[in-house]
């Protein structure tokens, strides 16, 4: 089991690196490209920030504290709540994307207020265990140190009934309904598009492609997070014993979700793909300039040394001749 735990930690760290690199690239791409200034892509940045923090903060903390570190009860509880907060931030960002694509209700001047609401509500819902809804069986150890495990401090009734059913499953169903309405609306417009200007049909084709890509991000979120929550529900509501290895796989899947979105954008969203290429071209060109400057410096040094050698060759005969005259 210890070997399995070590392998799990290594996989988590690899996922964390992928989360950080991929989502930094997404944030850079959106902020550096004017074509990505739509409100939808700003919510994509919000989602990328949540995924980046999963890789930079949540996963490393999970590796360090999960049965490896003795901490106070509330320190362990806070670390566990961080993961929940970031999950909620992802859900709310996905919900904001779905609402924005369907209603087009968010104006640019209200954009930061909408993003703030997403994160503020995520913090409120994710930090509820800090205010009393935590594992009561561990409260006797509140003033002493404990070996930190997620299930030792987080109440499973909170995780299953509130976090999963109310805060994840319900918004996910709403998002799926919104995307169904969106696809239906776009299909109707495309069917009506016969005889309309080419620009109108092209617009709705692009809208459908973008909606497909963002819906795929939602599907991947569900696929990656649903197994772990279903296992938690089975463990909480029934007497069925879920294998520990299955829980490990579910945890890995949930973390991996934060690393897959940048890959989806690269293959499915042309604007982000072009921004990726632009960034990579800038990086490679700067490296080439650095190599050229270092090569120029080396050439200058070698030419200086050659000229010095030529000067010494010119001086030496004169020195010899003067020496002969003195002799």
pLDDT at 173 over 80: yes
Nearest to 248 by CA among 67, 98, 127, 77: 67
pLDDT for the residue numbered 143: 62
pLDDT digits (tens, 9 = 90+) for 69-80: 788 888 889 999
| Domains parsed from the chain with CATH numbers | 2-269 (1.20.1070.10)
Chain centre distance of CA 286: 26
pLDDT for the residue numbered 106: 66
Q: In which region does residue 171 sit, left (phi positive, over 0), alpha (psi from -120 to 50) or beta (all else)?
A: alpha
**Pairwise CA distance, residues 306 & 244, whole Å:** 71
Least reliable range by pLDDT among 144-148, 228-232, 254-258: 144-148
Q: In a 3-state reduction of DSSP, which class is residue 135?
A: coil
H helices present in 127-243, as ranges: 150-153, 156-157, 170-192, 198-237
pLDDT for the residue numbered 319: 38
**Pairwise CA distance, residues 116 & 132, whole Å:** 25
In whole numbers, what is the pLDDT of the chain averaged over residues?
83
CA dihedral 66, 71, 76, 77 (to 10 degrees): 150
pLDDT digits (tens, 9 = 90+) for 232-270: 999 999 988 899 889 989 999 999 999 999 999 999 998
Q: In terms of pTM, does the model score above 0.85? A: no
pLDDT at 318 over 60: no
């Amino acid at each position: 089991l210890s070997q399995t735990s070590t392998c799990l930690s290594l996989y988590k760290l690899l996922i964390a690196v992928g989360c950080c690199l991929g989502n930094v690239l997404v944030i850079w791409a959106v902020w550096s490209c004017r074509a990505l200034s739509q409100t939808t892509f700003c919510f994509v940045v919000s989602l990328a920030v949540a995924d980046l923090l999963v890789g930079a903060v949540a996963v490393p903390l999970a590796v360090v504290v999960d049965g490896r570190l003795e901490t106070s009860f509330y320190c362990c509880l806070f670390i566990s709540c961080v993961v929940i907060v970031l999950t909620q931030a992802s859900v709310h960002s996905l919900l904001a994307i779905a609402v924005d694509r369907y209603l087009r209700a968010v104006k640019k001047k209200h954009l930061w207020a909408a993003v703030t609401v997403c994160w503020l509500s995520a913090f409120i819902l994710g930090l509820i265990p800090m205010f009393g809804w935590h594992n009561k069986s561990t409260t006797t150890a509140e003033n002493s140190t404990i070996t930190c495990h997620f299930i030792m401090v987080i109440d499973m009734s909170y995780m299953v009934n509130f976090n999963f059913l109310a805060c994840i499953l319900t918004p996910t169903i709403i998002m799926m309904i919104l995307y169904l309405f969106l696809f239906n609306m776009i299909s109707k417009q495309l069917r009506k598009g016969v005889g309309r200007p080419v620009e109108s049909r092209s617009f709705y084709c692009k809208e459908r492609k973008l909606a497909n890509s963002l819906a795929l991000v939602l599907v991947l979120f569900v696929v990656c997070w649903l197994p772990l929550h279903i296992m938690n529900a089975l463990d909480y509501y029934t007497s069925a014993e879920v294998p520990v290895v299955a829980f490990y796989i579910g945890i890995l899947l949930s973390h991996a979700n934060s690393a897959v979105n940048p890959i989806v954008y690269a293959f499915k969203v042309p604007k982000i793909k072009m921004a990726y290429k632009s960034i990579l071209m800038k990086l490679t060109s700067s490296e080439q300039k650095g190599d050229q400057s270092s090569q120029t410096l080396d050439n200058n040094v070698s030419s200086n040394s050659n000229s010095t050698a030529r000067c010494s060759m010119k001086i030496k005969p004169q020195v010899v001749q003067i020496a002969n005259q003195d002799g």
